[in-house]
Amino acid sequence: MIGGTLATLAVDAGYQVVLSNSRGPETLQDLAAELGPLCQPATWAEAAEAADLVVVSTPVKAYAGLPAAPFAGKLVMDTGNYYPERDGQLAELDSGALTSSELLARQLPGAEVVKVFNNIYSRHLLNLSRPADAPDRSFLPIAGDDGQAKAGAGQLRLRAGPVEAVEDAGKLIGRDAGAVIADFDRDGAAVTLTRRGFRHG
Ligand X SMILES: NC(=O)c1ccc[n+]([C@@H]2O[C@H](COP(=O)([O-])OP(=O)(O)OC[C@H]3O[C@@H](n4cnc5c(N)ncnc54)[C@H](OP(=O)(O)O)[C@@H]3O)[C@@H](O)[C@H]2O)c1
Backbone angles phi, psi at 65, to 5 degrees: -90, 0
Sequence-distant (6+) residues with CB within 8 A of 65 are none
Question: Smallest distance from the beta carbon of 43 to ligand X, in angstroms?
Answer: 9
Question: Smallest distance from the beta carbon of 135 to ligand X, in angstroms?
Answer: 25
| Binding residues vs ligand X (CB under 6 A) | 1-3, 20-23, 44, 57-60, 62, 65, 79-81, 118, 121-122, 200-201
Task: Report yes or no: 53 and 26 within 8 Å, Cβ to Cβ.
Answer: no
Q: Give whichever of 22 and 148 is closer to ligand X, judged by the CB atom.
A: 22
Query: What span, in angstroms and rounded, lies between the C-alpha atoms of 54 and 111?
Result: 10
Task: Report yes or no: 139 and 188 within 8 Å, Cβ to Cβ.
Answer: yes
Q: Minimal CB distance to ligand X: which residue?
A: 201
Q: Give whichever of 135 and 181 is closer to ligand X, judged by the CB atom.
A: 181
Question: Smallest distance from the beta carbon of 134 to ligand X, in angstroms?
Answer: 22
Question: Smallest distance from the beta carbon of 118 to ligand X, in angstroms?
Answer: 5
Helix (H), strand (E) counts: the chain: 8, 9
Q: Give whichever of 15 and 201 is closer to ligand X, judged by the CB atom.
A: 201
Sequence-distant (6+) residues with CB within 8 A of 129 are 160, 161, 162
Backbone angles phi, psi at 112, to 5 degrees: -105, 115
Question: Smallest distance from the beta carbon of 120 to ligand X, in angstroms?
Answer: 6
Q: Give whichever of 99 and 122 is closer to ligand X, judged by the CB atom.
A: 122
Q: Give whichever of 23 and 186 is closer to ligand X, judged by the CB atom.
A: 23
